[in-house]
Amino acid sequence: MATSMAQAINQALADALAEDDRVLVFGEDVGTLGGVFRITDGLAAKYGERRCFDTPLAESGIVGMAVGMAMQGMRPVVEMQFDAFAYPAFEQIVSHVAKMRNRTRGKVSLPMVIRAPYGGGIGGVEHHSDSSEAYYAHTAGLTVVAPATVADAYSLLRAAVAWPDPVIFLEPKRLYWSKDEVSLPVHAEPIGRAVVRRVGADATLVAYGPSVQIALAAAEAAREEGWDLEVVDVRSIVPLDEETLVASVRKTGRAVVVAEAPGFASVASEIAALLSERCFHALEAPVLRVTGFDIPYPSPKLEHHHLPDVERVLDAVAALQWEDA
């Protein structure tokens, strides 16, 4: 049956609540309202307000409370209402969430999940459309995942709730209403594994989260130009599946990394550097990036200029020195 990403995440939370009494879901408006995007719809009614409940508008307090709960053996799943709303909690995340295991020499772990609707494409203003993955990926001690499919939204979230350490779970809000023929529950590849979504021979497009659909669309459009493009879905930003990425690029000899976030000091930059180092002798051209621009997130009327699209990806592919082939 056709299932949306929003439904898959809702079902993953419901199944986690049903199977483990230690799991709690809380955040701003996640209870009676069911969240801004209705991701937690029905959970409070089914599992009670002690298991799924609203909090004050205080992100630092939300995460701080989750830290204390996780230290006592519970498994809190907290929602940051929008990506950039998490910034008031950033000190908690960097100073405590990410460091507790190391600080206690492994005696105290924090099995908690911080969910954040992230990325653009919905006509939201600033603070509602950030791609903030680089902040978390740069912070040692955090696991960072970004699903791009309905199946991964369910499977990765279930894996994140069971993970022994804190997970930043980035939900591409523009994909909430995307649908696929998926029968839940579904178990996909684990955290730490990338997936080849489309097999190709001429160049590799590397993407994650909302950019995977753009990469797949570009790969289809590239057929008219005579290019056979492979698409690799990163899925897990930290830990990163370097072997799958490297194997693909060593096979094709060319690579373009596609991501919504600004390109400077980004996850896309790290992946490009990794591929340049480990695939140097196989590369036929420099690894290129197609990213958002290095600006604050633009107004809704301008975001389509800011976000990578098929045309920009194909322009990058065209620049991969094919004349030398």
Q: For residue 190, is it within any domain?
A: no
Query: Considering its fold, how many domains does the chain have in total?
Result: 2
Helix, strand, coil percentages, rounded to 5, for the chain: 40, 20, 40
| Whether residues 134 and 281 fall in one domain | no
Contact criterion met (CB below 8 Å) for 80 and 58 = no
Out of 180, 205, 223, a domain closes at 180
Give the per-residue pLDDT at 1: 76
Confidence class for position 126, pLDDT limits 50, 70, 90: confident
- Are 58 and 132 in the same domain? yes
Where a domain ends, among 152, 180, 208?
180
Q: What is the mean pLDDT of residues 130-155?
A: 98
Q: Is residue 236 part of a domain?
A: yes
Indicate the DSSP class of residue 99. T
Extract the tokens encoding 200. Answer: 């190709």
- Asked if pLDDT for residue 325 goes beyond 80, the answer is no
The answer as to whether 27 is a domain residue is yes
Active site residues: 128
Last residue of a domain, which of 156, 180, 204? 180
d(CA 292, CA 105): 39
User: For position 234, which CATH number holds?
Assistant: 3.40.50.920
What's the rounded mean pLDDT across residues 193-221? 98
Question: Where in 119-163 does DSSP place strands (E)?
Answer: 143-145
Report yes or no on 272 lying in a domain.
yes
pLDDT tens track for 242-282: 999 999 999 999 999 999 999 999 999 999 999 999 999 99
CB-based contact 209:227 (threshold 8 Å): no
Q: How far is Cα 162 from Cα 144, in angstroms, rounded to an integer?
A: 14
Domain that holds residue 155: 3-180
**Is 73 found in the same domain as 101?**
yes
Residue 23 β-bridge partners: 75
Tokens representing residue 87 in the block: 């910034």
